Amino acid sequence: MPENKSSVFRVLDANLNRLREGLRVVEEYCRLVQNDKSFIQLKEIRHLLQRLYPPKLENLCLQARQADADVGNQTFNSSEANRDDSLAVLRAGLKRSQEASRVIEEYAKIINEDAVSRKAKSLRFSLYTLEKKLLVSRSDKVSSWFDGDRDYALYLVVDEAFYHGHGLLTDLEMALIAGVNLLQLRQKRAGDQHFLLRTRQLKILCAEYRLPFIVNDRPDIAFLSAADGLHLGQDDLDIAAARKIVGEEMPIGRSTHSLEQALAAEAEGADYIGFGPVFKTPSKENPDPVVGIEKLREVVSRISLPVVAIGGINHENIALVRDTGTAGIAVIRAILASDDFTRATHDLLTYSR
């Protein structure tokens, strides 16, 4: 039996309305209940909604609307009748929005609106990221980081040598809102005063968004800026010496470029390792040899520590890296060299699933 296109347009119309309504509920919670800057991300998503349906499709959906005949307007179950508090309202709004975006994603395929389907999918994953940010408290994240329950999924290494914009802190804020969940500052060329100033700025920014902040190479700067973690290279201090500066509690990672180095970092007492470069990258003046996907897979299988892949990773190859089972993916240029940090972050998250 041929598909009734009118019914498809009716579904798309109802779910666009549902999505708009759910997002408004979430935005009001963020803006008015919590005074949380996460509502900025909701505004961006709402702007995306304005471009989700092309005008011709939106007009067809409007023509197919049958609000008076909708059997759904006669139902009102007990779960809809009661909300315990504003947090329950937030949860309901998030779920409503996620479900609506999934319906749009699937039904748009029936009428060959592939661009609409892709946008709806990207939007849905943005909502998943936002849900985690809003429902996991800052104290929970800080304690879980120090207790060992750490999330390395999308790890942004900030190296100002690869940033060519005009407002680093603003751009980084957009990346955090879009879904980056761990930030490291790497300064190979800056003087100590600038390094310390920048670490303190980024520590404040990460704390505002309830995310851990890591300092590269310098245990003294990590200590002075009250960073949440330290990351050491192969030529940096050994971990025992670094702990005399930062203390026993601060998590410490180690960059590695071979299985032997990874095993040595594990024996040394590292909390996690970075492994790479997985692909060719210009992010270092004297880069180490490319390790490739299979070496990464071997290290992941042989090392008990969380392994964070790094080196030349972008939205085109991130899925290959994720398939190795790595605990996280670190990027530099994939975001820092982009003209749009929000879109670059969304692309990495979308293509890594």
Q: Could you read off the pLDDT of 186-203 as tens digits, one per residue?
A: 998 888 999 999 999 999
Give yes or no: residues 76 and 209 share one domain: no
330 with 274: CB under 8 angstroms? yes
Which single residue is written with the structure tokens 């008076």? 68
- Count of the separate structural domains present in the chain: 2
Give the alpha-carbon dihedral of 139, 140, 145, 146, to 10 degrees.
70
Give yes or no: residues 279 and 178 share one domain: yes
Grade residue 140 by pLDDT with cuts at 50, 70 and 90.
Answer: low
Q: Domain ends where: 89, 108, 135?
A: 135
Which candidate, 269, 171, 276, 186, places its Cα nearest to that of 222? Answer: 186
What residues contact 179, with CB distance under 8 A and at least 6 apart? 125, 126, 129, 154, 345, 346, 349
Give yes or no: residues 158 and 131 share one domain: no
Domain region containing 118: 5-135
Give yes or no: residues 121 and 152 share one domain: no
* Residues facing residue 273 across a β-bridge: 254, 307
Which residues does the annotation mark as catalytic?
Answer: 186, 255, 284
Give yes or no: residues 43 and 155 share one domain: no
Give yes or no: residues 76 and 94 share one domain: yes
Grade residue 102 by pLDDT with cuts at 50, 70 and 90.
Answer: very high
pLDDT of 4 above 80? no
Give yes or no: residues 73 and 145 share one domain: no
Average pLDDT, the chain: 88
pTM of the model: 0.69
